[in-house]
C-alpha cells in the first residue's frame, strides 16, 4: 500500500489540528493532549487508507505478444487493460529492457467500470540480439482515492531485435506498387533486351524501334517497348571489419550496412534477380550463394542477423578472390564498406579494380554525417577552425579515392550512413532500368 495525495493532505490536516488542541486545552497536559490527538488522527487516516487499498478490484493487464523488433526504429508495444465493476485509475510500468530507449514510462490510464483500453509506448533498440521483458508493475488507486494498491503481473518474455524489418516492410510495399503499376513509371524505350509490348508511335520515339510488320498490319506506326532482362545476378559483399564498428546516429556503421544489404536483397529478389551475400573481415565470415525467389529473403535475415562487427582489418582482395572462385557468371557486385583515402584504402581500390571488366563492381561507402556537418560549420575560434579543416581534408581525400575508382570502371555511391538505404535502392533500380549489367 502506498499513500495517495489525498492521504498526505489529511495527514497535513492533522498537523493543523494538533496546535488547535494545544491552544484550547487547559492545564499542563496540553502538550501531551495535542501530540496524542495528532497520533490518533494519523493512525485513523492510515488505517482507513489501508482498508481502502484492500477494497481495490484488480484490473487485468496483458502485454501484446512481441515477435521481432527492428533496430534503430520506434517499435510499438501495446498493453491491454480490462476493468471490473469498479472504475480504475492506474499507473503502469512495463519491465522493458533497460538497454532500450523508451518514449514514456510509467503509463497512466483511467477506465470506467467494465471497460477495456489499450495503452501504447515505443521502445528504441540500438543493438541486435535477444532481450528479456520482465513483469508489469501496476498501481491502482483505491475507491476513496486514499491509497495506491501495487502488484506485479508476471508476464516475462524474450524478444529478439532484428535489422530494420519495418523499413523492409515499407520497401516491399513500394516495390509491389511499382511492379503493379499503381505508381507511374517512366518507361525507357529500347533500353533492355526483353520484349514487353507494342504501343502507338509518339513524337520523340526512336525510329529504330518501329515494328514495321506490325505497322503494316495495323495501318499505323507501332513501336516496340523493351524492358531490362530480369534474371540477373546480384552479389552483395558486406564489410564487418574495423571501420564498420564506428557509431553513427546511434547505430554501428555495420548495422546501417546490414539494413542496406537486406533492403537491396529485397529489391533484387522483387526484380527477379538471383541474390547472394558475403560478409567478410580477414576472411569470408558468411557466404550465402545466389538464389532467387521471395523465400530467399527470410533465410538471409536469419543468417545475417546474429553477425556483429569485429575490430579486424578487412581483406578486400581475399573477399574478391573468393567471390571470383564462387561466381563464374557476370554479376553486379556491390561492396558495402567505408573508405579513408587512396593510401589507407589502397587494397580496396585494387580489389574493386580486379572485378572489371568481368563483373560490374559497385562500391558503396557509408559516410559519417558529423564530418559533413563539421565541414560546413561556420567557425568562430581557432580550435573549431582546425576541426573544420580536418573535416574538409577528409572529404577531399575521399573524393580523390572515388575518382580513382571511377577511372577503373567502378560505380560509386557515397552517402551518409543513415541515408544509404534509400539512395542505394534508387541507384539499383536505375541500373536495372538502364540495363547496365
Both ends of the chain: CA-CA distance in Å?
Answer: 71
CATH number at residue 95: 2.60.40.10
pLDDT at 212 over 90: no
pLDDT at 259 over 70: yes
Q: What is the mean pLDDT of the chain?
A: 87
Task: Supply the pLDDT for residue 415.
Answer: 93
The domain boundary, picked from 36, 53, 70, lies at 53
pLDDT single digits (tens) 307-337: 999 999 999 999 999 999 888 888 999 999 9
pLDDT at 172 over 50: yes
Averaged pLDDT, 348-354: 91
Closest to 290 in 3D by CA, of 300, 276, 304, 303: 276
pLDDT single digits (tens) 187-198: 444 455 555 677
Task: Supply the pLDDT for residue 60.
Answer: 94
Cell of 105: 514510462
Radius of gyration (Cα) for the chain, nearest Å? Answer: 33
pLDDT at 183 over 50: no
Does 266 share its domain with 398? yes
Does 80 share its domain with 48? no
Task: Supply the pLDDT for residue 78.
Answer: 95
Does 245 share its domain with 382? yes
Averaged pLDDT, 165-180: 87
pLDDT single digits (tens) 9-38: 888 887 777 777 766 676 667 677 777 877
Does 48 share its domain with 115? no
Task: Supply the pLDDT for residue 190.
Answer: 42
Task: Supply the pLDDT for residue 102.
Answer: 94
Q: What secondary structure does DSSP assign to 69-136, as a single string? A: EETTS-EEEEEEEE--SS-EEEEEEEE--TTSEES-SSEEEEE-TT-EEEEEEEEE--S-EEEEEEEE
Q: Phi and psi of 55, rounded to 5°?
A: -90, 0
Let me know if residue 167 belongs to a domain: no
pLDDT single digits (tens) 235-253: 999 999 999 999 999 999 9
Task: Supply the pLDDT for residue 187.
Answer: 45
pLDDT at 181 over 70: no
Let me know if residue 169 belongs to a domain: no
Strand pairing class (332-337; 233-239): parallel
pLDDT single digits (tens) 264-322: 999 999 988 999 999 999 999 999 999 999 899 999 999 999 999 999 999 999 999 99
Domain with 33 in it? 2-53
The domain boundary, picked from 162, 186, 207, lies at 162
Does 219 share its domain with 250? no
Task: Supply the pLDDT for residue 45.
Answer: 86
pLDDT at 229 over 60: no
Amino acid at each position: 500500500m502506498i499513500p495517495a495525495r489525498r492521504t498526505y493532505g489529511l495527514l497535513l490536516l492533522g498537523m493543523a489540528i494538533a496546535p488547535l488542541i494545544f491552544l484550547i486545552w487547559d492545564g499542563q497536559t496540553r502538550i501531551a493532549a495535542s501530540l496524542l490527538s495528532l497520533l490518533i488522527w494519523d493512525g485513523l487516516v492510515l488505517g482507513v487508507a489501508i482498508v481502502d487499498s484492500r477494497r481495490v478490484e484488480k484490473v487485468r493487464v496483458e502485454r501484446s505478444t512481441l515477435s521481432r523488433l527492428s533496430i534503430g526504429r520506434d517499435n510499438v508495444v501495446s498493453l491491454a487493460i480490462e476493468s471490473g465493476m469498479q472504475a480504475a485509475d492506474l499507473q503502469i510500468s512495463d519491465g522493458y529492457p533497460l538497454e532500450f530507449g523508451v518514449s514514456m514510462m510509467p503509463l497512466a490510464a483511467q477506465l470506467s467500470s467494465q471497460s477495456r483500453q489499450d495503452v501504447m509506448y515505443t521502445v528504441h533498440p540500438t543493438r541486435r540480439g535477444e532481450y528479456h521483458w520482465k513483469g508489469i508493475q501496476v498501481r491502482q488507486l483505491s475507491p476513496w482515492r486514499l491509497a495506491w494498491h501495487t502488484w506485479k503481473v508476471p508476464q516475462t518474455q524474450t524478444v529478439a531485435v532484428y535489422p530494420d524489418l519495418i523499413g523492409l516492410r515499407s520497401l516491399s510495399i513500394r516495390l509491389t506498387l511499382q511492379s503493379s503499376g499503381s505508381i507511374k513509371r517512366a518507361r525507357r524505350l529500347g533500353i533492355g533486351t526483353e520484349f514487353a509490348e507494342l504501343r502507338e508511335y509518339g513524337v520523340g520515339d526512336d525510329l529504330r524501334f518501329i515494328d514495321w510488320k506490325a505497322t503494316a498490319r495495323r495501318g499505323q506506326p507501332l513501336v516496340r517497348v523493351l524492358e531490362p532482362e530480369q534474371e540477373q545476378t546480384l552479389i552483395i559483399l558486406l564489410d564487418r571489419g574495423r571501420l564498420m564498428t564506428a557509431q553513427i546516429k546511434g547505430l554501428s556503421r555495420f548495422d546501417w550496412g546490414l539494413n542496406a544489404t537486406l533492403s537491396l536483397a529485397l529489391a533484387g529478389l522483387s526484380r527477379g534477380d538471383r541474390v547472394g551475400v558475403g560478409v567478410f573481415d580477414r576472411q569470408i565470415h558468411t557466404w550465402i550463394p545466389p538464389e532467387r525467389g521471395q523465400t530467399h529473403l527470410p533465410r538471409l535475415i536469419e543468417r545475417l542477423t546474429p553477425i556483429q562487427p569485429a575490430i579486424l582489418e578487412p581483406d578486400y582482395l581475399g573477399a574478391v578472390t573468393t567471390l571470383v572462385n564462387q561466381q563464374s557468371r557476370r554479376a553486379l557486385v556491390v561492396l558495402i564498406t567505408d573508405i579513408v583515402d587512396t593510401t589507407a584504402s589502397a587494397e580496396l581500390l585494387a580489389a574493386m579494380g580486379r572485378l572489371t571488366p568481368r563483373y560490374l563492381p559497385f562500391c558503396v561507402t557509408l559516410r559519417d554525417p558529423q564530418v559533413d556537418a563539421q565541414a560546413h560549420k561556420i567557425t568562430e575560434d581557432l580550435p573549431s577552425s582546425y576541426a573544420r579543416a580536418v573535416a574538409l581534408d577528409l572529404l577531399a581525400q575521399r573524393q580523390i579515392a572515388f575518382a580513382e575508382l571511377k577511372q577503373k570502371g567502378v560505380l560509386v555511391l557515397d552517402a551518409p550512413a543513415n541515408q544509404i538505404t534509400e539512395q542505394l535502392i534508387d541507384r539499383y533500380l536505375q541500373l536495372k532500368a538502364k540495363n547496365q549489367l
